[in-house]
Structures are given as structure tokens and as C-alpha cells.
Amino acid sequence: MKISVLKLPRSERFICSTKQVKTLFSDVEELSVHFGSLGKTFHFDGRCPKRPQLTGHIAASLSVTRQRTSILCFYPLQRDELSEMSVLNFTNELLPQMQNWLGQKLAKTETEILVVEQFLVELTGGQFKTHNLRFL
């Protein structure tokens, strides 16, 4: 696992810590984790034809490529828009859900992984919404 972290101003924070990610995803070898280092905002891949309508901010994205590599990205959020309850909800429910999703995808055989699959976590008004995307 490789982790890179972007230093943030005091007005921003990530939805979870590197320690929490290391604890849950320590068994995944081919995982690159980026805390804002690939960009401060999420952008859809150009190959994704069916994009969900987003009303909030993407807090995290997890992708599995056809080559069986995984990329976990966290995007900075404004501290004043993020309650402690939201952070606890993410770390206790959504982060383990992301771990399970990744485990299911990596358990597939090489011939079963034909597309890029992506799991998005959107934060809207203190509530989380998940999206599953598939594209070439």
C-alpha cells in the first residue's frame, strides 16, 4: 500500500485519517491511497458515459482497474460543512463498506474483470450517498 497526503489549510479536512485506512486496507498490496494528492476535487473519467447527478461533494472514491490495481482517493471537505457525526458515520459504516466492495472486486478472476469499476461516496447536507460506476 502506498499513501500520499496533501497538506491542507485549517479550514479543510479529510473524512478519515491515514491510520483508519491503514487498519482496514492493510491486506491489500496493490492499493494506492491519495489524500488530495491527485487533485482537490473529484472529476469523472472521460470514459464514463452514465454519470450520476451529483448534488453534493465527493468525499471519497475507490477504483479497481482491469489490471487489478486499486486507487482510493479522499477529497478535502470544508470543516464547517462536516459534522463529527458524519465523520463517525463514514468511518464506522462506509469505510468498511468500501473495504468489502474492494474485496469482492479483487476476488474476481482475471477474466471476470472486464471494465473499470468505481465506488463513490457523496456528501450532501450531512448525509452520504453512494454510487457504483462501470466503464471501459
| Number of domains comprising the chain | 1
Helix axis angle for 95-106 and 18-25, nearest 10°, is: 40
pLDDT of residue 130: 97
- Contacts of range 4-9, beta carbons closer than 8 Å, 24 or more positions apart: 4/32, 4/33, 4/34, 4/35, 4/37, 5/35, 5/36, 5/37, 6/35, 6/36, 6/37, 6/40, 6/76, 8/36, 8/76
Low-confidence ranges of the chain (pLDDT < 50): none
pLDDT of residue 136: 85
Distance from C-alpha of 120 to C-alpha of 16, rounded to nearest angstrom = 15
pLDDT in tens, 12-44: 999 999 999 999 999 998 899 999 999 999 999
Q: Give the range of the structural domain holding residue 100, as residue numbers without chain letter.
A: 2-135
pLDDT of residue 66: 85
pLDDT of residue 110: 78
pTM: 0.93
